[in-house]
């Protein structure tokens, strides 16, 4: 199968996943019904400073992380979704969750991370990658890294909440990942590693404790 065929057939799974039993519900499958406590902690402590920044969250699902970024002062929190049903679910959820003022700083885009361009042509200052790289087929990972490099501005931050580490399954999604895998993919693509730390179990969603780490990269 060519890379293009793999990409097409693998990507088709997501709309099916979002619709197979009616629209995927909050708390079902990968949807944890809220943003990761590790992200909230980083935003509260200033470990990740998003004030006035343009933030991109690919594979944003229902958009829980966008709410966190908007409330932490992001100039723009943009979610990107391949599955049209996910994008619609995010619009509905955000319509309820956000105040009018917060909503002015949030956008949901439908599109494929590997080909998408921001409609304004502007690059992003911060990327957040959680439950996204692990969702992609392993053969798509090199393109994942170059796509991040394309969408982020020089000097931008890429925060990867690595998951699932220490995973006993060989196939996915979620495909098992290691911290080294993120470095091996991103360093040759034009990133430097700024920070790497394990996520304490109490800052992970239920069932994910001990399987997460934060790696922060800078786009050179
Ligand atoms: C494992 S889910 C995680 C969703 C969300 N981050 C969450 O934690 O609830 C991965 C998401 O990535 C989306 N996705 C997969 N491939 C994509 C692509 N090439 N471009 C944009 N989104 C994609 C899927 O539709 C799916 O909603």
205-214 pLDDT, tens digit each:
999 999 999 9
Q: What is the pLDDT of residue 55?
A: 98
What is d(CA 204, CA 176) in angstroms, rounded to the nearest whole number?
Answer: 17
What would the mean pLDDT of 181-193 be, rounded to a whole number? 98
In this structure, which residue's CA is closest to atom 5 in ligand 1?
61
What would the mean pLDDT of 150-156 be, rounded to a whole number? 98
CB 136 within 8 A of CB 73: no
What is d(CA 188, CA 181) in angstroms, rounded to the nearest whole number?
Answer: 12
What would the mean pLDDT of 140-161 be, rounded to a whole number? 98
What would the mean pLDDT of 168-195 be, rounded to a whole number? 96
In this structure, which residue's CA is closest to atom 14 in ligand 1?
59
What would the mean pLDDT of 55-60 be, rounded to a whole number? 98
In this structure, which residue's CA is closest to atom 26 in ligand 1?
59
Q: What is the pLDDT of residue 47?
A: 97
Q: What is the pLDDT of residue 28?
A: 96
Judge if the beta carbon of residue 131 lies within 6 A of ligand 1: yes
The CATH number for 3-219, chosen from 1.10.10.10, 2.40.70.10, 3.40.50.2300, 3.40.50.150, is 3.40.50.150
- How many Cβ atoms from other residues are within 10 Å of residue 96's Cβ? 6
- What number does the ligand 1 atom closest to the CA of 15 have? 25
**Model confidence at 1: pLDDT above 80:** no
Domains in the chain: boundaries: 3-219
**Model confidence at 129: pLDDT above 80:** yes
Mutate to test the pocket of ligand 1, among 7, 59, 110, 113 (most ligand atoms within 8 A of CB): 59
What would the mean pLDDT of 77-88 be, rounded to a whole number? 98
What is d(CA 53, CA 154) in angstroms, rounded to the nearest whole number?
Answer: 14
What is d(CA 192, CA 144) in angstroms, rounded to the nearest whole number?
Answer: 16
**Model confidence at 88: pLDDT above 90:** yes
Q: pLDDT tens across 18-36, in order? A: 999 899 999 999 999 999 9
Q: What is the pLDDT of residue 2?
A: 83
- What number does the ligand 1 atom closest to the CA of 59 have? 12
Mean pLDDT computed over every residue of the chain: 96
In this structure, which residue's CA is closest to atom 12 in ligand 1?
59
Nearest by Cα to 75 from 49, 109, 105: 105
Judge if the beta carbon of residue 113 lies within 6 A of ligand 1: yes
Judge if the beta carbon of residue 164 lies within 6 A of ligand 1: no
**Model confidence at 103: pLDDT above 80:** yes
């Amino acid at each position: 199968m060519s890379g293009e065929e793999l990409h097409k057939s693998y990507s088709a799974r997501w709309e099916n996943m979002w619709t197979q039993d009616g629209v995927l519900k909050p708390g079902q499958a990968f949807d944890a019904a809220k943003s990761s406590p590790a992200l909230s902690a980083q935003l509260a402590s200033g470990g990740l400073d998003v004030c006035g920044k343009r933030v991109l969250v690919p594979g944003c699902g229902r958009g829980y992380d966008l709410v966190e970024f908007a409330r932490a002062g992001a100039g723009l929190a943009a979610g990107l979704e391949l599955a049209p049903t996910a994008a619609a679910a995010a619009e509905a959820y955000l319509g309820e969750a956000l105040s009018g003022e917060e909503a002015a700083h949030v956008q949901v885009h439908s599109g494929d991370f590997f080909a998408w361009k921001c409609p304004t042509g502007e690059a992003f200052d911060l990327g957040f990658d959680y439950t996204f790289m692990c969702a992609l087929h392993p053969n798509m990972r090199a393109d994942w890294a170059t796509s991040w490099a394309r969408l982020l501005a020089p000097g931008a931050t890429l925060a990867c909440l690595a998951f699932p580490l220490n995973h006993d399954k060989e196939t996915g999604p979620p495909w098992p990942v290691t911290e080294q895998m993120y470095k091996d993919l991103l360093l040759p693509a034009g990133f430097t590693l700024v920070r790497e730390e394990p996520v304490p179990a109490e800052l992970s969603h239920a069932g994910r404790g001990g399987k997460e780490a934060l790696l922060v990269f800078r786009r050179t």
